[in-house]
A and B are shown apart, each in its own frame.
Chain A
Amino acid sequence: MASVIHACAVGELLSAYLDGELTRDELHVVVEHLDSCLECIAEFHELRDARTMLRTLPRLEVPDRALPDIHYGAELSAYLDGELPTGEQPVVFAHMALCEKCRNELYELDAARTAVRALPRLDALPDGSAHGRDGDANVIPLRRGRRSWLAASVAAAVLVLFVSLTSSDPQGPVLDLEVFSNQHVARESVQSPASLFSAELTAVDVSNP
Chain B
Amino acid sequence: MAEELVPDWEDVARRYGRKIYNYAYRLTGNPDDSADLVQEVLLRVRKGLQRYTPGSFEGWLWRITRNAFLDDVRRRKRRPTVPLGDDDRGIGNPSPSPDEVLSSVRLSEDVQAALLKLPMDFRECVVLCDVVGLTYDEISDAVDIPVGTVRSRIHRGRKMLRDTLTWPL
Residues of the B chain whose Cβ atoms lie less than 8 Å from the Cβ of A74: 50
Q: From A11, which residue of chain B is reached at the shortest CB distance?
A: B155
A59/B158 in contact, CB under 8 A: no
A65 contacts B35, C-beta separation under 8 Å:
yes
Interface residues of B, dominant DSSP:
helix
Residue ID in chain B nearest A12 by CB atoms: B155
Report the nearest A residue to B43, measured CB to CB: A68
Which chain B residue has the least Cβ–Cβ distance from A57?
B108
Task: Indicate whether A125 reaches chain B with its CB closer than 8 angstroms.
Answer: no
CB-based contact A58/B158 at 8 Å: no
Any A CB within 8 A of the CB of B104? yes
Contacts of A51 in B (CB 8 A): 130, 158
A130 to chain B, nearest CB (A): 22
| Interchain CB contact under 8 A, A16 and B136 | yes
Instruction: Give the Cβ gap from A182 to chain B, nearest Cβ, in Å.
Output: 11
The answer to whether residues A16 and B151 also contact, given A59-B18, A59-B22 and a CB cut-off of 8 A, is: yes
Of A53, A67, A192, A204, the contact of B13 (CB 8 Å cutoff):
A67
Task: List the B side residues contacting A46 at CB < 8 Å.
Answer: 162
Query: Chain B residues near A190 (CB, 8 Å)?
Result: 1
* Contact with B130, one of A3, A54, A70, A183 (Cβ below 8 angstroms): A54
**Contact, CB under 8 Å: A205 / B111:** no
Nearest Cβ distance between residue B87 and chain A, in whole angstroms? Answer: 6
Q: Point out the residues of chain A lying under 8 angstroms from B124, CB to CB.
A: none
Which residues from A are CB-within-8-Å of B3?
A: 183, 186-187
CA distance A15 to B93 in the complex (A): 21
Residue pair A52, B96 in contact (C-beta under 8 Å): yes
> Contacting A66 at CB < 8 Å: which of B21, B135, B155?
B21
> In the complex the two chains form, is A53's CB within 8 Å of B165's CB?
yes
- Cβ of B108 and Cβ of A21 under 8 Å apart? no
Size bracket of the A interface: 35 or more
Contact indicator A1/B167 (Cβ below 8 Å)? yes
Stretch among A137-145, A160-168, A193-201 lining the B interface: A193-201
Q: Which residues on A sit within 8 Å (CB–CB) of B106?
A: 53
Tell me if A135 is interfacial: C-beta within 8 Å of chain B: no
Is residue A180 contacting chain B, with contact meaning CB distance below 8 A?
yes
- Which residue of chain A lies nearest to B37 when distances are taken between CB atoms in the complex? A66
Residues of B within 8 A of A1 (CB): 163, 167
Given A50-B165, A66-B38, A181-B15, check contact A56 B94 (CB 8 Å).
yes
Contact of B26 with A by CB under 8 A: yes
Question: Chain B contacts of A3 at CB under 8 A?
Answer: 159-160, 163
* A205, B14: Cα distance in complex, Å: 8
> Which of A2, A55, A197, A209 interacts with B166 by CB under 8 Å?
A2
- Asked if residues B36 and A2 are in contact (CB atoms below 8 Å), the reply is no
Which one of B25, B26, B158 lies within 8 Å of A50 (CB-CB)?
B158
B residues touching A (Cβ–Cβ < 8 Å)?
1, 3-5, 7-11, 13-15, 17-22, 25-26, 31, 34-36, 38-39, 42-43, 50, 58, 87-94, 96, 100, 102-104, 106, 108, 111-112, 115, 126, 129-136, 138, 151-152, 154-155, 158-163, 165-167
| Chain A contacts to B: CB under 8 angstroms | 1-3, 12, 14-16, 19, 21, 46-47, 49-63, 65-68, 70, 74-75, 85, 87-88, 91, 95, 177, 180-181, 183-184, 186-188, 190-192, 194-195, 197-206, 209
Sample of 16 more A-B contacts, CB < 8 Å, known A1-B167, A68-B39, A194-B135:
A1-B163, A2-B163, A16-B136, A50-B165, A54-B161, A55-B131, A56-B96, A62-B17, A70-B9, A181-B11, A183-B5, A186-B3, A192-B58, A198-B132, A203-B92, A205-B19
